[in-house]
Structure 1
């Protein structure tokens, strides 16, 4: 009577099989008589007489809810995810300051309950990403981007460390050799550790043009002279291979999405102020998945404790610097 039928999946505490339940629903006998005949509780007989199916109902609450988050906290999580469309870990790092007891699993369950656990695929089938070769801190990618305000055009120099993700940026009126080496000097002044490698593209701001290299027209550039004086290797990307400098290209896009693509600026000064605030928040407050949930500044401080010989000054005493 209590044996299970092949192919039938019953609840762990079930006292009836599908065959017994079907017999109860077909029988014209009284509930008490069926209870005595089948050797089961009267309430069990009454329950299956009322039902129209033979399957067990799902256990748990009818309306799923969190045992960790309050209703208002869950509403905050849902609104944040729908507005930002950030990945799971980025949502976690951004929300934990406001909801300290939020864990990765409780966040994932919350997103599942509300049907937003998967982000929409905005770019179709994405190619498999290749990981960058691991380098010690001090390998910087540098690039230039063009931005606009109501006053006209500006150029943005951006430098980002391949390992620590620490970013430095500067807005200038012209993108030429002079502003390029001035930006390099500014980066050297603000970064608290030794820079050993700099990667740039083949732009005229950073290197001699290919047709003039190793010829009578070739000349030493101030950018390379500064690198040599500081023991820095200046590497160039391969021509027509912009993805080699992909880290700083991605940082350029991140900055544009947070500034000129989202807001209108009446003046260059408004953009400079917002850019400074954004980069301070990025370097000192934004938790990154690639750094195991640390901010770039926290990651630098962690390296300081294990490899202090790489540092020029104690980063724990460093205040936000250039980014204007």
Structure 2
């Protein structure tokens, strides 16, 4: 009999059955099997030993409130047109829904609203160059099935919309500096300044570590306070119940996937019918 497991599975049905029947402690089992304590607890609290299906059961015509909040947040962050947003939601999150359904659940303020900052071709005509990155942070308080608290770091270039994001289970100055180095290495252009969007969750120690690395690279860094202060994102249900793709991808892999889809997936009219990645590449000086 063929057993199909998710790509990120660390246990088999036989191991899961052993976990459910064992009298040993969670930590003893985790050490014995070389898996995390969270994984042990997850399978001991379940009745079945098989993976959940990754195939959407229905095409959503009614959406959960958490999905509505998530999709509107993505629209707010990426400033994506409706068709681009639909592409990200379906391909990136695995939420099967129609264009009409998506449009119905977007907040009215997101439909044709004015934008404070110029972007794309209009920004270039106004003399605004894609030389600045903004760094953002949010604390994600996830369900126990998703291993509890996580930390979302994302960077964005406002002219093109280009973005890079990671989700970590822990935070330290060295990790944040390493993430910054990765972002700067991935960015297809020349960054001359970085704006750190800071709030009460991002400590002064972490901000200082970022500024030090920027100074070492000869990049101007500045801290901007977020008003009002942002609280942690509370998710009380397992992510798989909100984001079908979470049955296959970890939170970190989901964040990376969404940015990749946005950066390279669809051409945007405001960028001269180019993707953000292609738009930035086109602006790079040609070597002779």
Q: TM (normalized to structure 2)?
A: 0.49
TM-score (norm 1): 0.44
